[in-house]
A and B are shown apart, each in its own frame.
Chain A
Amino acid sequence: MVALFVLSLKIGILQIHESLWSLVGKHSIDAQTVWGVRFPRALGAIIIGAGLGIAGAIAQGIFRNPLAEPTLIGLSSGATLGTIAIIASGASGFGTRMNVVSAVTAALLTALLVQWLAPNKGFGFLLTGIAVSAILTAAAGLLITMSPKPGIQSLSFWNFGSLSLLNNATVGLIAPYVETGIIIAFFVSRRLDIYSLGEHSSHYMGVNPKRLRLWAVIALAFLIGASVSAVGSIAFLGLLVPHIVRLMIGPAHRRLLSLSGFVGAIVLLIADLLARTLFEPHEIPLGLLTSILGAPALIVLLKLRSASWVSND
């Protein structure tokens, strides 16, 4: 990870030949590129990648569904709408604290709405999530089209997911929210193991399933809301990372969360490096890249699924 981090600082349109240490405290173009542009971007990739990996693990655990992922169950669309609504209304601009708060709140409300509407915990739940997600995405699209605010159309790049908008200020702004989400996630992790045995089993062993779900959804809202507000929705990362980790170390949630965070950070660093260097000087939106790579990986994973998740239905 350290090597990837250093690589992220070095590689780009502007090639850096000096050692990174020599640029500390300087004000040259090179120094500005490394510390003002690439550093927050790489740091953001680590924070957001870790957050998304952990969010995926929490979502799959709490919805007892191997396909539960923040983008599939509506949380990301909620956060997207929350972000766009606050900008379109003119109440606040992109990358402000109000923007993050609005995204987190919208993600939380969406998660609660999906839970309330869903007929059961299985595929009905997933389909409800997809339906709600579609409505919210459409609403966000409408807001973008109709808003008289100049420059709002450029948000469509953000909408596909990209780390290009990260700077030192936004990274500093979202970090505490992601951290809060991670702390809550670890706080509920052991109970997720008991909860995996079923609603009644969980109750019998002293774990209140309703309260656990609420905590998990709050953690998800913090993780997803904060990352969407800064970089848009990045598909598949949260879905795939926990599966890969589960195949490596088994399903126990405390370890699953730790390693999903670590692998998520590495995957996002690599993906971002590819997104900005593959077709230099053009940058591909990161969300498109993760979709292109993630979707085939998902299909392979579904074939392997029995290894990590047995279906009881």
Chain B
Amino acid sequence: MIEIKKIAFKRGENQIFTSLSARIKPGEAVLISGSNGVGKTTLLQLIGGVLRVQSGEILINGRNVEELSIKEQAHVRSVAPQRRNFTLAYTVEQVINFVPKKLKVENANFIIDTLGLRSLLHKKVTELSGGEQERVSLALAFSQKADYYLLDEPFSAQDSKSIKNIIKVIKSLQKADKGVLVISHNQEALTQYFDREIKLS
């Protein structure tokens, strides 16, 4: 379980969270919504361990995120950030294989096929469209074996067919008792696919 306990976070003068609490259970898919600037990405970065809370705590499987090493964090949660630097001309296949062997899921082929990346495997990632790059980034996150998956705006550059395919992967994760947390600002059409919605304001 991910437990967010009364966390506070301030960026410069801007108080983003004063006392936020929430939980994500195994097998659950949770949508986090809210307008720009309410701290959706900040929340994901706090759970992901790249930012630190100023008070309160975030526990994953009962352990404080800030006390886990970077390696240990990678075993309990996987993150698809909003943006990755695709600056070097790796092939899609190379990028997906960046996941270290110890961390790699067994069903990588299912992910590649469902996200429609099979035909792109030998293309250079720098030459793909924004939507294709986003799906490569998601495939990379899904290929990392973890208990929780945190996805930052995974649908922002996708058409309705691709959105359905991404949802398909999320459902398969839920079936395997994984928890999924998705951030999105255009949530209306999406709420039906999730167990719960947390609105930040």
Q: Which residues of A contact B (CB under 8 A)?
A: 64, 193-194, 196-201, 203-208, 246, 250-252, 307-312
Q: Is the beta-carbon distance between A201 and B81 smaller than 8 angstroms?
A: yes
List the one stretch of B12-20, B94-102, B186-194 in contact with chain A: B94-102
Closest to A197 in B: B84
> What is the 8 Å Cβ interface bit string for chain B, positions 24-59, against chain A (1 contact, 0 not)?
000000000000000000000100111000000000
Closest to A306 in B: B126
Output the least CB separation between B92 and chain A (Å).
12
Q: Cβ of A200: which chain B residues have Cβ within 8 Å of it?
A: 45, 48, 50, 79, 81
A103 to B73, CA, bound (A): 38
Q: Cβ of B85: which chain A residues have Cβ within 8 Å of it?
A: 64, 196-198, 201, 312
Q: Is the beta-carbon distance between A250 and B89 smaller than 8 angstroms?
A: yes
The reply to whether the CB of B174 lies closer than 8 angstroms to some CB of chain A is no
Q: Cβ of A196: which chain B residues have Cβ within 8 Å of it?
A: 85, 87-88, 90
A119 to B68, CA, bound (A): 29
Q: Cβ of A246: which chain B residues have Cβ within 8 Å of it?
A: 88-89
Q: Is the beta-carbon distance between B48 and A197 smaller than 8 angstroms?
A: no
Q: Is the beta-carbon distance between B70 and A309 smaller than 8 angstroms?
A: no
> Most chain-A Cβ atoms within 10 A of its Cβ — which of B71, B75, B89?
B89
Q: Is the beta-carbon distance between A198 and B83 smaller than 8 angstroms?
A: yes
Output the least CB separation between B30 and chain A (Å).
19
Q: Which residues of B contact A (CB under 8 A)?
A: 45, 48-50, 70-71, 73-75, 78-79, 81, 83-91, 94-95, 98-100, 103, 126, 140-141, 144
Output the least CB separation between A111 and chain B (Å).
22
A197 to B140, CA, bound (A): 11
Q: Could you give 10 example pairs across A and B, Cβ below 8 Å?
A: A193-B94, A196-B87, A196-B90, A198-B81, A204-B50, A205-B103, A205-B140, A207-B70, A208-B71, A311-B87
Closest to B91 in A: A250
Closest to B78 in A: A204
Q: Is the beta-carbon distance between A204 and B87 smaller than 8 angstroms?
A: no
A201 to B94, CA, bound (A): 15
B89's partner among A204, A208, A310, A311 (CB-CB below 8 A) is A310
Q: Is the beta-carbon distance between B98 and A197 smaller than 8 angstroms?
A: yes
- Chain B contact surface mostly: mixed
Output the least CB separation between B130 and chain A (Å).
12
A250 to B88, CA, bound (A): 8
Given known contacts A64-B85, A200-B50, A200-B81, is B90 in contact with A206 (CB within 8 Å)?
no
Q: Cβ of A203: which chain B residues have Cβ within 8 Å of it?
A: 48-50, 70, 73
Given known contacts A205-B144, A206-B70, is B81 in contact with A193 (CB within 8 Å)?
no
Output the least CB separation between B6 and chain A (Å).
25
Closest to A191 in B: B100
Q: Is the beta-carbon distance between B87 and A206 smaller than 8 angstroms?
A: no
Q: Cβ of A311: which chain B residues have Cβ within 8 Å of it?
A: 87
Closest to B103 in A: A206
Q: Is the beta-carbon distance between B99 and A308 smaller than 8 angstroms?
A: no
Q: Cβ of B71: which chain A residues have Cβ within 8 Å of it?
A: 206, 208
Q: Is the beta-carbon distance between A252 and B74 smaller than 8 angstroms?
A: no
> Most chain-B Cβ atoms within 10 A of its Cβ — which of A200, A252, A312?
A200
Q: Is the beta-carbon distance between A309 and B88 smaller than 8 angstroms?
A: yes
A217 to B140, CA, bound (A): 28
Output the least CB separation between B177 and chain A (Å).
21
Q: Cβ of B99: which chain A residues have Cβ within 8 Å of it?
A: 205
Q: Cβ of A252: which chain B residues have Cβ within 8 Å of it?
A: 90, 94
A291 to B144, CA, bound (A): 45
Q: Is the beta-carbon distance between A204 and B88 smaller than 8 angstroms?
A: no
Output the least CB separation between B33 and chain A (Å).
22
> Most chain-B Cβ atoms within 10 A of its Cβ — which of A193, A205, A246, A309?
A205
Output the least CB separation between A229 and chain B (Å).
32
Q: Is the beta-carbon distance between A204 and B98 smaller than 8 angstroms?
A: no
> Most chain-A Cβ atoms within 10 A of its Cβ — which of B70, B87, B89, B126?
B87
Q: Is the beta-carbon distance between B89 and A206 smaller than 8 angstroms?
A: no
Output the least CB separation between B134 and chain A (Å).
13
Output the least CB separation between A195 and chain B (Å).
9
A301 to B79, CA, bound (A): 36
Q: Cβ of A194: which chain B residues have Cβ within 8 Å of it?
A: 98
The 4 nearest A-B residue pairs measured at CB: A206-B74, A251-B88, A204-B79, A198-B85
A201 to B86, CA, bound (A): 11
A251 to B94, CA, bound (A): 10
A193 to B84, CA, bound (A): 12
Closest to B127 in A: A310
Q: Cβ of B100: which chain A residues have Cβ within 8 Å of it?
A: 205-206
A198 to B98, CA, bound (A): 13
Given contacts A197-B98, A203-B50, 19 further A-B contacts (CB under 8 A): A196-B85, A198-B81, A198-B84, A203-B70, A204-B73, A204-B81, A205-B100, A205-B144, A206-B70, A206-B103, A246-B89, A250-B89, A250-B90, A251-B89, A308-B89, A309-B87, A309-B89, A310-B126, A312-B87
